[in-house]
Amino acid sequence: MKRLVILGAGYGGLTLAQKLDSLSKGHNNWKVTLVDHRDYHLIQVRIHEVAANSVPASQIKIPLSQLLNGHKVESIQAKVLKIDPVGRTVETTSGTINYDRLVIALGSVTDFHNIPGLQEHAFAMKTLEDAISYRKAVIEAFRNATATGAEPLRKNDPRLTFAIIGGGLTGTELAGEMVDFCNDLCKKVPAARHAYRIVLAELAPRLLPELEPESGEYAMNDLRRKNVAILTNSGIDQVVPGSVHLMNGKTIKSNVICWAGGIKAQPLIKESGFNTTRDGRVEVNHYLRSKQFESVYVIGDSAFIHDGRNGKPVPQTGQYAELQAGYLAKCFANEQPDVKPEPYVPFSMGISISLGRGEALSLSGPLKLTGIPGRVVKDLSYTKHELGVRNVLPEVRLG
Ligand SMILES: Cc1cc2nc3c(=O)[nH]c(=O)nc-3n(C[C@H](O)[C@H](O)[C@H](O)COP(=O)(O)OP(=O)(O)OC[C@H]3O[C@@H](n4cnc5c(N)ncnc54)[C@H](O)[C@@H]3O)c2cc1C
């Protein structure tokens, strides 16, 4: 039996391992090995909710042992160090793994873009550890600023100014969540109510530059209504302790700074000899196969996939990663010598952007839901993923 090794048990990798096993029941052509350095699957799309104390960390990590129970998948907990795509091996902290076919689904990491002081003085928002550190820092900022003997609070106090840099999906969702978190904290220390400030700075002329303009307008108006200061056309120059210096000469004085302005693929991919885009992704063909190495496929945030219909790259989202995994599972399960599979066609069911605990903007084709109905759709998207990986959702066939 040939060995298929999947690197990463996130949205793409875990889904592929589970679906391939389900589709191949009884006549599995592949011995499947799933490698991840964590022993849990992270519901990454909710980490900003942990950061703002809306959900406990335990709610967004599901042990892989639970999710793979009953599946014929070998799970190895190890950090991937290097890939040898010529020798068909993967070097990990638990030794070398040989493969016949490899799927890279290693997600992405924060890209600090070499901005001076950024990595040293700002929190990232990519891992569970990032979210927990940020949450602690916000609570500590409130505690210190209102401690006995602390200097009196003033309006827009830098000690209670929370600067979020990057107004894409992550930054915008975090800003909405922070409104609720600060409100909660002010219930305990009412004196802080007129002193705290949330600032969201974005390089582009509007929020959510990856979506169509109306979404950014909607999010901007909603957050401004909740007293979030939105600065557009505001790229950053450097970060020093307590301040963000913008390219336009302005400064945001803030003790707790969060960088939500960029991601890149895992550097180990480029270091392993793959040709990559500037942000470290591997360009794949219409079958999600590396253009350079025949036995390697790449999905999710690690892949650069060109959508021939609109000339744009396929967005890096959990939803796309899962659908790419479903596509590969079908191809691998039904593979026959000399028969080409159907090419991958990017498809999206829409997108939901949370703007706080009780509301979201949900867009699906011409359908736009806001407020509580939008939030219901957002929560359904979380539930759908969780029930899917827990294997309690009937298979929905599209097309
Ligand atoms: C705050 C936030 C909000 C988001 N909101 C949404 C949203 O609303 N909707 C949406 O669709 N998407 C959203 N996303 C994006 C989404 O989370 C990602 O696009 C998705 O997780 C990518 O899936 P993936 O399988 O490529 O990678 P991941 O899900 O990140 O999985 C990668 C896996 O690889 C493992 N790994 C990485 N490096 C190594 C290594 N060296 N060795 C071993 N294992 C390794 C990791 O532990 C992880 O399990 C959001 C992201 C963030 C940060």
pLDDT in tens, 10-26: 999 999 999 999 998 76
Rounded to the nearest integer, the mean pLDDT of the chain is 94
- What DSSP string describes 212-277? -HHHHHHHHHHHHHTTEEEE-S--EEEEETTEEEETTS-EEE-SEEEE-S-EEE-HHHHHTT--B-
- How confident is residue 29, by pLDDT bands cut at 50, 70 and 90? confident
pLDDT at 19: 95
Would you say the CB of residue 300 lies under 6 angstroms from ligand 1?
yes
- What DSSP string describes 375-397? HHHHHHHHHHHHHHHTT-SPPPP
Average pLDDT over residues 374-380: 94
Would you say the CB of residue 384 lies under 6 angstroms from ligand 1?
no
pLDDT in tens, 215-265: 999 999 999 999 999 999 999 999 999 999 999 999 999 999 999 999 999
CA 23 to ligand 1 centroid distance, Å: 24
Residue nearest to atom 19 of ligand 1 (CA): 317
Residue nearest to atom 21 of ligand 1 (CA): 318
Would you say the CB of residue 170 lies under 6 angstroms from ligand 1?
yes
- How confident is residue 192, by pLDDT bands cut at 50, 70 and 90? very high
Average pLDDT over residues 32-55: 97
pLDDT at 125: 98
Would you say the CB of residue 263 lies under 6 angstroms from ligand 1?
no
Residue boundaries of the structural domains of the chain: 2-110+263-348, 118-259, 350-399
Q: What are phi and psi of 336, to 5 degrees?
A: -135, 145
Asked whether the domain spanning 118-259 has the same topology as the one spanning 2-110+263-348, the reply is yes
Q: How far apart are CA 186 and CA 174, in angstroms?
A: 18
Average pLDDT over residues 37-63: 96
Instruction: Please provide the size of the chain in residues.
Output: 399
Which CATH code of 3.50.50.60, 3.40.50.300, 1.10.3720.10, 3.40.50.720 fits the domain covering 118-259? 3.50.50.60
Q: Can you tell me whether residue 327 is helix, strand or coil?
A: helix
Residue nearest to atom 4 of ligand 1 (CA): 45
Would you say the CB of residue 360 lies under 6 angstroms from ligand 1?
no
Q: Does domain 2-110+263-348 have CATH number 3.50.50.100?
A: yes
- What DSSP string describes 4-20? EEEE--SHHHHHHHHHH
- How confident is residue 398, by pLDDT bands cut at 50, 70 and 90? very low
Would you say the CB of residue 344 lies under 6 angstroms from ligand 1?
no
Can you tell me which residue has the tokens 């990491």?
109
The yes-or-no verdict on residue 84 having pLDDT over 60 is yes
Ligand 1 nearest atom to the CA of residue 42, by list position: 49
Query: 168-191 as b/e, with b when 16 or more CB fall inside 10 Å?
Result: bbbbbbbbbbbbbbbeebbeebee
Average pLDDT over residues 206-218: 92
User: Could you give the dihedral angle defined by the CA atoms of residues 98, 266, 43 and 387, in that order, rounded to the nearest 10 degrees?
Assistant: -40
pLDDT at 177: 97
Rounded (5°) CA angle 241-216-350: 115
- How confident is residue 28, by pLDDT bands cut at 50, 70 and 90? confident
Instruction: Report yes or no: 351 and 211 within 8 Å, Cβ to Cβ.
Output: yes
Ligand 1 nearest atom to the CA of residue 325, by list position: 25
Sign of CA dihedral 386, 81, 288, 46: positive
Instruction: Report yes or no: 273 and 264 within 8 Å, Cβ to Cβ.
Output: no
User: Could you give the dihedral angle defined by the CA atoms of residues 318, 321, 322 and 325, in that order, rounded to the nearest 10 degrees?
Assistant: -160
pLDDT in tens, 101-129: 999 999 999 999 999 999 999 999 999 99
Which of the 8 DSSP states describes residue 206? S
Q: How far apart are CA 14 and CA 36, in angstroms?
A: 10
- What pTM did the predictor assign? 0.94
Instruction: Report yes or no: 10 and 39 within 8 Å, Cβ to Cβ.
Output: no
Would you say the CB of residue 261 lies under 6 angstroms from ligand 1?
no
Would you say the CB of residue 183 lies under 6 angstroms from ligand 1?
no
The Cβ-side half-sphere exposure at 156, using a 13 Å CA radius, reads 7
- How confident is residue 211, by pLDDT bands cut at 50, 70 and 90? confident
pLDDT at 308: 85
pLDDT at 121: 97
Would you say the CB of residue 319 lies under 6 angstroms from ligand 1?
yes
Would you say the CB of residue 259 lies under 6 angstroms from ligand 1?
no
Would you say the CB of residue 266 lies under 6 angstroms from ligand 1?
yes
Q: How far apart are CA 51 and CA 57, in angstroms?
A: 9
Within the chain, where are the H helices? Answer: 11-23, 47-51, 64-68, 118-121, 128-145, 169-188, 213-225, 267-271, 318-333, 371-389
Residue nearest to atom 41 of ligand 1 (CA): 80
pLDDT in tens, 147-186: 999 999 999 999 999 999 999 999 999 999 999 999 999 9
Ligand 1 nearest atom to the CA of residue 353, by list position: 8
User: Could you give the dihedral angle defined by the CA atoms of residues 322, 323, 327 and 333, in that order, rounded to the nearest 10 degrees?
Assistant: 40
Q: How far apart are CA 210 and CA 262, in angstroms?
A: 12
